[in-house]
Amino acid sequence: MDEEREGEIEKKEGVASIAVLPCGSISGHFIHTPLSVCYGLHGTELACETECSRGEDYRLIKLTIIDFNSKKEQTVVVECKAHDAARINNVEHAHGRKSVSFECETLKADKAAEDHIRQFMPKLSGLDAVINIGPMKISGLDFAVVEEEHAN
């Protein structure tokens, strides 16, 4: 099996490249290493009332993870902290065993971001996005279960 198992929970680790758009949406790729399996990432900001303790840079994102090989998708609500150098974590207890974490280690803006976008995400060219690159961990998402649920 190509995924590390934690009990019966699939755990994928790798590197993500995420474009953070001015409107608050995110788009990018997650490369599950060492097998170099690529997953798509697409997130839209959800309306939420920010608690005082969360700060101005706190937002909720509806994150869709796309398995390009099987054409299946899974969606999870995550917390995103900071606008430019983002930190993403799943919302506590919102999804049971589903877990997503990301922390920006490399931030690209302006020309560096546009060069990266032209090379890896050409559809986002000209949208004034910043690029976040860093380690990502995803667990509890089983794309085979999605197929079974849609068959019933």
Q: Is the dihedral of CA 28, 78, 147, 9 positive or negative?
A: positive
Q: What confidence tier does 63 reach under pLDDT thresholds 50, 70, 90?
A: very high
Neighbours of 40 (CB within 10 A): 14
Q: pLDDT by residue (tens digit) across 101-138? A: 999 999 999 999 999 999 999 999 999 999 999 999 99
How is the chain split into domains, by residue range? 4-151
Q: What confidence tier does 152 reach under pLDDT thresholds 50, 70, 90?
A: very low
Q: pLDDT by residue (tens digit) across 137-151? A: 998 877 665 544 444
The pLDDT of residue 77 is above 60? yes
What pTM does this model have? Answer: 0.81
The pLDDT of residue 3 is above 70? no
Strands 130-139 and 99-103: antiparallel
Written in H, E and C, the secondary structure of 29-77 is EEEECCCCEEEEEEEEEECCCCCHHHCCCEEEEEEEEEECCCCEEEEEE
